[in-house]
Amino acid sequence: MTARDWQNIILCAALLAIAACLPLTGDAYLLTIGVTIAMYTVLSTSWALFSGPTHYISLATAAFFGLGTYTTALGIENGLNYWLTLPVAGILGAVVAGLVGLATLRLSGVYFVIFTLGLSELVRQLVTWGQNVSGQKGLYVLTDLTETHIYWQLVALAGIVYLIGWAIGRSRLGFALRIIGDDEEVARHSGINTARAKVLLFMVSGAVASVVGGVLAPRYIYIEPSLAFTPMLSFLVVIMALLGGLGRLWGPIVGVIPFTFLWEAISASFPNQTTLLLGVSFLIIVYLLPKGFVGLIEAIRRKITNREAFP
């Protein structure tokens, strides 16, 4: 590793340490917002790990998130230790993502988007049917975990995801994915196994989303399909990642923080128009900030550099 790599790692570790100190403020509202920001940071970053280099827009986040939530809920209900349910959720998420990826990643464009959106609804309906057959309407998740514990887990998971993204970006897999994103036909003719590369990264994204769902299960206390598999989650993750920008690993968090506060204000002021305003937000981001805040920052930086070079 270069000296710059070590500097980046040390900087990220310092920022995570600072973020971990949030509960020490004693402000319950800030902690609640912090949990939301940490959750979307992990989900958006893991989503960007796959969709950023491949340009495949996945709306399956809610499916994997709900899978992890129910894994933790069912595990605790059957006497399994909470800390054991998280790796189980991750493994299940990776397996399901692998199976889905093998079946769907040959699709492209709008077909892949539609399929992944339908996947969340399919899983939700299957879980609902299973609960109706068993006579249950939902599951209680009763643990001793507090909001602070959940927040610290999410911060730690964010650090792990950033480390995974950093490692992938410097690996053969990351190099292959960048070529796939530029031109998949060229990548295929260059001898790259494009299907395997895409499936592997989709499995990473699915596993992370499932673990996040497992971590959040105790926060909800009572789990039901409409809560665990809400399609709104998938759209919010995409919008936040696009707002921040996919050009850098840290890009999604630049979109997560402002949009979380904006969405809190929208949900409180216009609770019946959230879907409409979400669509408007997406259109504004796509047309006004196609490369997100990262692209805007880099464009400003280039202008400053050019002015210094050619005053």
State yes or no: pLDDT of 4 exceeds 70.
Answer: no
Residue 66: per-residue pLDDT: 93
State yes or no: pLDDT of 2 exceeds 70.
Answer: no
Residue 152: per-residue pLDDT: 95
- What would you report as the CA-atom Rg of the chain, rounded to the nearest whole angstrom? 20
Q: How far apart are CA 140 and CA 86, in angstroms?
A: 17
Q: How many CB atoms lie within 10 A of CB 46?
A: 30
Q: How far apart are the first and last CA of the chain?
A: 36
What residue type is assigned to position 165 of the chain?
Answer: G
Mean pLDDT of the region 81-105? 91
In this structure, are residues 215 and 265 in contact, taking their beta carbons and an 8 Å threshold? no
Which is nearest to 42 in space by CA: 166, 155, 164, 206? 155
State yes or no: pLDDT of 119 exceeds 70.
Answer: yes
Residue 104 region by backbone torsions, left for phi larger than 0, else alpha for psi between -120 and 50, else beta: alpha
Mean pLDDT of the region 40-51? 92
pLDDT tens, residue by residue, 265-303: 888 888 787 878 888 888 888 788 778 888 787 777 777
Per-residue confidence band for 1, with pLDDT thresholds at 50, 70 and 90: low
Q: How many CB atoms lie within 10 A of CB 26?
A: 7
Q: What is the domain partition of the chain in residue ranges? A: 3-230
More confident residue, 53 or 241: 241
